[in-house]
Amino acid sequence: MREFLRRRPLHLPLPFGDNAHAEQLGQLWIRCPSCNEQLYAKEYEDNLKVCPKCRFHFRLSSQERLALLLDPNSFEELDHDLRGVDPLSFRSEGQAYADKLPGYERKAGTPEALVYGLGAIEEVAIVVAANNYLFQGGSMGVAVGEKIARAIDLAVSRRLPFVSVVATGGARQHEGVFALMQMAKTTAALARLGRVGMPYISLLTDPTVGGVPASYAMLGDITIAEPGAFIGFAGPRVIEQAIRQKLPPGTATSESMLAHGMIDMICARGELRSVIGRLLRLLTNGPCRRTSPGEWGERHQEAELSGVGEGLGLAD
């Protein structure tokens, strides 16, 4: 079965960038980059941007993603205006990164590469965060890290489940070491969510690469991937350079991650809402759940204060 999965992935991962989106053929038709089928634009939209022939899942913007996942009108965006700055005074090929940011924003339709807020899936209230790949490849700079951390903080303080949707090329190089440090920032925030007993569902979509899966995105209590997503530490080009050969088909895809025990399930786009809804109901109704956050918080504090460390003379 494993071999079968490895040899016959649903489709091959495509190179990063806008060319992995639908190629417009005039007003009414687009071409599927995976099977080359010409698709009628309306049919493609109606099918949630999944190719009806080969099931290729096209990338979605954060707006499309939230519309698809959340109950209608349930989304309340927070910190919309939180934006990245240019901490390194970074210049690339004569252009300042600071000057490019407004352009990214116009192109993507969001002020940063991630939006977050309150929402509901099948009437279960959640905190949700979603990457916008259209903004600089969904890359994680300081603003994205800050928004993820704030989303988690909110889930902790409101005692809500956290659902994150990832579509990213990784850490934003233009913010250098500050981007790297967002891996620690987001991960440190997650530890607190675990302590209040709230579930974290991580949905990985194409692509999920670099510092993001190497931090909060792979730390979900439940990890779900869309079919055929590229998921890995390095992108296809970088792996090919490192191993000096063409990428073996199926490497670092959702299917390979599932076969190797790295994720819980692959879920087609059309089923995501109901699967996540069911999981949320299952995971937030435990009969042993402490209903009073106050009590939980106090117990947690007690546990911390009486924690390990006495042996070293570290205890308070």
Partner 1 sequence: MQTSLEFEAPLAELQTELDKARTAAKPGDDEGDRLVARLRRQLDERLGAIYAQLRPWQKVQVARHSARPHPLDYLRLAFTDFVELHGDRRFGDDHAIIGGPAFLEGRSVMVVAHQKGRDTRENVDRNFGMPGPEGFRKAQRLFSLAEKLGLPVITMIDTPGANVGVADEERGQVEAIATSIATMCSLRVPIVSVVTGEANSGGALAIGVADRVLMLEHSTYSVASPEAAAAILWRSAQKAPEAAEAMRITAQDMLHFRIIDRILPEPVGGAHRDPTAMAIVLRDALAEELDGLVGLGTTDLVQSRYLRYRGLGPYREG
Q: Which of residues 149-168 bind partner 1 (CB under 8 A)?
A: 149
Binding to partner 1, residues 88-127 (CB under 8 A)? 88, 90-93
Binding to partner 1, residues 257-316 (CB under 8 A)? 260-262, 304-305, 307-316
* Among the listed residues 15, 248, 270, 286, the single contact to partner 1 using CB under 8 A: 248
Please report whether residue 191 would count as binding partner 1 according to CB under 8 A: yes
At closest approach, how far in Å is the CB of 57 from partner 1? Answer: 20
Which C-beta is closer to partner 1: that of 64 or that of 79? 79
* Among the listed residues 11, 49, 59, 185, the single contact to partner 1 using CB under 8 A: 185
Kindly report the number of other CB atoms within 10 A of residue 76's CB atom: 9
Binding to partner 1, residues 30-49 (CB under 8 A)? none
Q: Which region, judged by CB under 8 A, interacts with partner 1, from 65-73, 127-135, 242-250, 285-293?
A: 242-250
Q: Are 51 and 44 in contact (CB under 8 A)?
A: yes
Which C-beta is closer to partner 1: that of 37 or that of 310? 310
Please report whether residue 183 would count as binding partner 1 according to CB under 8 A: yes
Distance CA 46, CA 65 (A): 14
Binding to partner 1, residues 201-230 (CB under 8 A)? 210-211, 213-219
Binding to partner 1, residues 61-90 (CB under 8 A)? 79, 81-85, 87-88, 90
Q: Are 166 and 208 in contact (CB under 8 A)?
A: yes
At closest approach, how far in Å is the CB of 296 from partner 1? Answer: 17
R_g over Cα of the chain: 21
Distance CA 255, CA 186 (A): 26
* Among the listed residues 52, 176, 197, 249, the single contact to partner 1 using CB under 8 A: 176
Distance CA 73, CA 61 (A): 17
Please report whether residue 175 would count as binding partner 1 according to CB under 8 A: yes
Which C-beta is closer to partner 1: that of 29 or that of 233? 233
Distance CA 136, CA 131 (A): 10
Distance CA 137, CA 102 (A): 15
Q: Are 124 and 158 in contact (CB under 8 A)?
A: no
At closest approach, how far in Å is the CB of 1 from partner 1? Answer: 15
Which C-beta is closer to partner 1: that of 52 or that of 197? 197
Kindly report the number of other CB atoms within 10 A of residue 264's CB atom: 17
Q: Which region, judged by CB under 8 A, interacts with partner 1, from 27-35, 252-260, 267-275, 279-287?
A: 252-260
At closest approach, how far in Å is the CB of 21 from partner 1? Answer: 20
Pairing of strands 222-225, 38-40: unpaired
| Residues contacting partner 1: total by CB under 8 A | 77
Which two structure tokens, joined as six digits, stand for 298? 């106090």
Distance CA 183, CA 215 (A): 5
Q: Which region, judged by CB under 8 A, interacts with partner 1, from 19-27, 38-46, 180-188, 275-283?
A: 180-188
Distance CA 95, CA 104 (A): 14
Q: What is the dihedral of CA 149, 127, 166, 35, to 10 degrees?
A: -170
Kindly report the number of other CB atoms within 10 A of residue 265's CB atom: 12
At closest approach, how far in Å is the CB of 174 from partner 1? Answer: 8
* Among the listed residues 28, 188, 265, 282, the single contact to partner 1 using CB under 8 A: 188
